[in-house]
Structures are given as C-alpha cells and as structure tokens.
Amino acid sequence: MTFSYYPGCTLKTKAKELDAYARRSAEALGITLAELPDWQCCGGVYNNTKDEIATKLSSVRALISAKEQGNKLVTLCSACHNVIKRTKNEIETNDDMAFRVSNYMQCDARKDSDTEVVHFFELLRDTVGFDELKKKVVNPLTGRKIAAYYGCLLLRPGKVLQFDNPENPKIMEDFIRALGATPVIYPMRNECCGGYIAIESSEAARKNSAAIYESAEGFGADCMITACPLCRYNLIKAESTVPVVYFTELLAEALGVK
C-alpha cells in the first residue's frame, strides 16, 4: 500500500532519525512512503489569526499534491500533522477560508484538497494493525519500560485532530505493547513541554520539560518516546534523566531494521 508522505523540514535536518527509521520500518511492513514532490515548510505552528492565510498555503499545496496522487497523506512530525490537519479542517468548515484559498491557489479548495490526513501512529493502528505489527516483531523489547510522551500537538484540539482521547490517550501505549515492551502510564504524558515559549522564557520551558521527565522517571520509565522533534529537543535541553528517542527508532529496532 502506498501513502503520500510529508516529511517536513526538521526531518531533513535535526530529526533525520525520525524519518530514516520510519522509512525502513514502513518498507519492512509492506508500506510505501511516497514523498511529496516540491513540498514546503508547513509553517511550524498553526496560526489562529482569522485573516492570516499565507502561512497555511504550503499545507494546502501538500493536501492538493496528495489528492492528485490519489493517496492518503501521512505525517510523522507532531507539529506538521497538527498544522496540516487543522488547515484542512478550516477549509472544510470556514467558507471565507475556502473562498480565499481558492482565489490564491486558483483551485476549488474544498474539492482539490480533500484527502485524508493520518499520522504514522494511525497508519500502524488502522492500516497495519497492532496485532499484525506484533507478529512482525523479530526483536521484542521484552523487559523495557517505555514512557509514551504525547505532548499537546498530537491530541489538541481533540475534535479536529481526532487522534485519540486528549485526556486519556492509549494509542502509543498499545504501540509499545505490540513491540513487546511495558508501557509506563504517568501523569504528565500529555502535558506541554513548553516548546512555543522556549524563546520567550527558556526557564519556563525548562520547568515544563523537567516536570515531564521527572514524572516518567518517578513511575519507573527507562526510556521515553515521542513523535515531536521540538518536544525531544526541549526534554534533552532540560537535561532529562530518562533517554528520549523517536518512536520510529524503537519500531525499527523491534522489526530488525535499525
């Protein structure tokens, strides 16, 4: 099965492991990730200003490109996923946004960008299936205690992203179980790392991140996984006492393609 794939800027620079391990793992699972041609930065953060449209057009282009290829659009980076999916939702629900995008892009925004956006976690759950993934594991991570760190961008706003229950998610824990490891449930797993205030107040961001890794460590985690390059950066910068890796690295290890 083929999915159109939007990697995003960071996966080509500081987060190459997130991208590389996903590609190897997808191949091992019989999934083709067809990288979109000429993709652009998603904008990095979803702009809630109603009259701001320019920063959202690259996400529209990605949606249109995937539609032209006839595929679902898969993302890996939490921020990219958040921005693209929220842009699609605004086109679907906001007549003014759809009208203006159509004028800017010389297209029928609602029709031409109508492609399903899924995160790689959703691909594993809904297309591969966690039971089937478990059968593909050649190096089970038995005895490992893994803490899933969701952060905020995968889960919120919940009615738009529809990724999982924003207050009590379980998709990452189910993923960890499929790899043979034990998921660590800890209170701070869906709290913000402070990523978007890091420049304004690095100390506040450090405190947020410290509270997260201290919570995971306190509940016995020997490793944390994330899908967000910014979250990983902040946790490491805050000198996390628990190793923080991309979820695709553990997936590749379990599938024997690391």
CA distance 25 to 5: 14
Rg for the chain, CA atoms, rounded: 18
Rounded (10°) CA dihedral 162, 96, 58, 247: -10
220: β partners? none
pLDDT, tens digit only, all 258 positions of the chain: 999 999 999 999 999 999 999 999 999 999 999 999 999 999 888 988 888 899 999 999 999 999 999 999 999 999 999 999 999 999 999 999 999 999 999 999 999 999 999 999 999 999 999 999 999 999 999 999 999 999 999 999 999 999 999 999 999 999 999 999 999 999 999 999 998 888 888 899 999 999 999 999 999 999 999 999 999 999 999 999 999 999 999 999 999 999
Give the Cα-Cα-Cα angle 140, 77, 101 (nearest 5 degrees): 145
Domains in the chain: ranges and CATH = 2-120 (1.20.1050.140), 130-255 (3.40.50.11810)
Instruction: Spell out where the chain has E strands.
Output: 2-6, 32-35, 73-75, 117-119, 145-148, 182-184, 223-226, 244-246
Residue 37: cis peptide before it, omega within 30 degrees of 0: no
Which residue shows structure tokens 């039971």?
131
